[in-house]
Structure 1
Amino acid sequence: MNKFLLSIIIPCYNEAENLKEFYRRAKAVLAVYEYYLLFIDDGSTDGSLEILKNLAAADDRVRYVHLSRNFGHQNALKAGYDHARDADCVVCMDADIQHPPELIPQLIAQWQKGYKVVNTRRMDNGSEPVLKRLASKGFYSVINRISNLKLVPGGADFRLLDAQVVTQLSFFNENALFMRELVPWLGFKQCTVAFDVEERFGGNSKYSFKKQVSFSLRGLVSSSIAPLRAAIFIGLVIAGLSFAYGIYALYVHWFTVKALPGWTSVMAGILFVGGLQLLLMGIIGEYLGKTFLESRKRPLYIVEECSTGSLKQHNPVILREREKLDIDM
């Protein structure tokens, strides 16, 4: 494969300090390819959009899509894939340069060998806090146990997708998108390339602890219904133990002269079972909440402005309706 069109998707939220440096490094690496950079501005408020407009005006290989507000990293990724369907392959990476642009030729080399999906895996070089590394290992350990799919520990949303895979992704409009599980679910021939995470060039991470917890819960709930089955199992075990204790209490009362334990043990049991019930209700509620969000059928993102054509052409709802008409015809 000698000539091909490469699209680089860069979701960004308040990355004004990094955009010009990212553009400089990416341009140097991609000089030998036919490519374009597609920045997805996820509702930035720090002047990122103005920088993108200036870059697009100076270089026709720079495109941007500005979302009407911050819809979240996973939805911004989806917006990028929806707008990059004219490319032969698509690479997605972050704008903070922790995903090194210099790795792109290695991803392309694997794609040219026949891999439709080239994933990346962060090397554990000890640069991240110990607590964060342990939490990451725990997350992947749990999700790989409850899911039929096996996610690569340390996996990132920095990956290359063939055009065929990008087309298949366009049919997915789940509210709780979790790309790290969805891409393996699609199948195709896949491989993984390891890389060292670089330091942020500028600014601070926008991924707060709250967002990390939310992302982890989304991954667990989206990947499997195992937590619901676990809730059933735990409920049966507790019910069985409670029934056995009830039999024991009746035996002590009717056939022995021992005094029944006081209210302390009773209260401890009530509090334990009550807390467990709240936990299980929370698990069930999480799934019910996801079902409610899916039932509303709202679009995953709203495009306010873009440099890639009219808004009507790139509206995700209109695109889906157009595809249905094409299939019917």
Structure 2
Amino acid sequence: MSTLTQAPAPTAPEGHPQQGRSPRRLIPRLGGTTWLVWRQHRAAFWTIIAVTLLSVAAMVFLRGQMMDYLRTLDPSEKKPGGLPPGFEPFGERLFDAGSYLGYLPVLAGVLLGAPLVAGDLETGTAKLVTSQSVSRLRWITTKLAVPAALIALSTGVLSAVYNWWWSPVRMSAQQMEWTSGVIFDVTGAMPVAYALLTFTVGVAVGMVLRRTLVSMVVTLGIVVAIGLVWDRFRVNLGHVMTVSTDKGVGPGAKQPELPAQAVQQGQGTDFITSSGDRLDWMTCLDKMDDAKAHTACLESKHVVGWSMDYLPIDQMHTMQWLGTAIMLTLTAAVTAFTVLWCRKRLL
């Protein structure tokens, strides 16, 4: 008999009004491999649930404080496109919370994904389970599905609450660029896809290396590498826009103005010529000490104004969904590798 089989539920005595009726349960009882996975990792799962609830409560409280402050301001004190005076402490809390949420993928991969299968292989639990009536495919599928569902639920809730907190100052928080990981990676569907990717990577590493501690260290290195690549690749998901002027570059000439919450791209503001060509902002830099020589140099190159590249905030959701699709595709690929490895080379 399988060790995963649970004892039957007690029945009502003969003659009892409930005799012959199936018992009703408000919460369905877990059974089989689902019960086993929950039982094995219940401490980690309950910790995730508790931390999620506490984090949600903290963000709701801090948002309430921020909204109370914004309501007390005189409308004349609110600067268009900027933050009201005295908002810095609230902005710092928002930034810190986003930074903490940015560690979710690391925690999902290192603390939950890497030990998930490696621990069972190291202690022999996997061999015990799969030697009975449970197939390898069923075991690894449940082993992946239960934690993945909990990760998706918790990160989705945290993302929604953080986005709700950030949305009142979305168009004015200039010091928090939406292309940074503090905002981009912790709102929308991004944190769910990111955490699922690092979780499956951790499981795959643990399955190959078969040692818990080694798997956690290797997973940490891989997750850090993924983060570095993602930080450099993120802005490439958007379509760069350009704004330019043609009123000259001398004293009194205004540089291009970007839309609210637009993020400038490139090294700086480039020069633009009468023919529409762009010149690097360091053009004629060697003549900056002499104003006349500098002006003559720019005129000789037919410079008529400045040009600036930027990403508008209205592309944020599109970029996030593209990033989510990429990460979910990688997650599916890693999951397929894990399942195939389990079926052929697990024990």
| TM-score normalised according to structure 1 size | 0.25
**Which structure dedicates a bigger proportion of its chain to strand?**
1
Computing the radius of gyration from Cα coordinates, the structure with the larger value is: 2
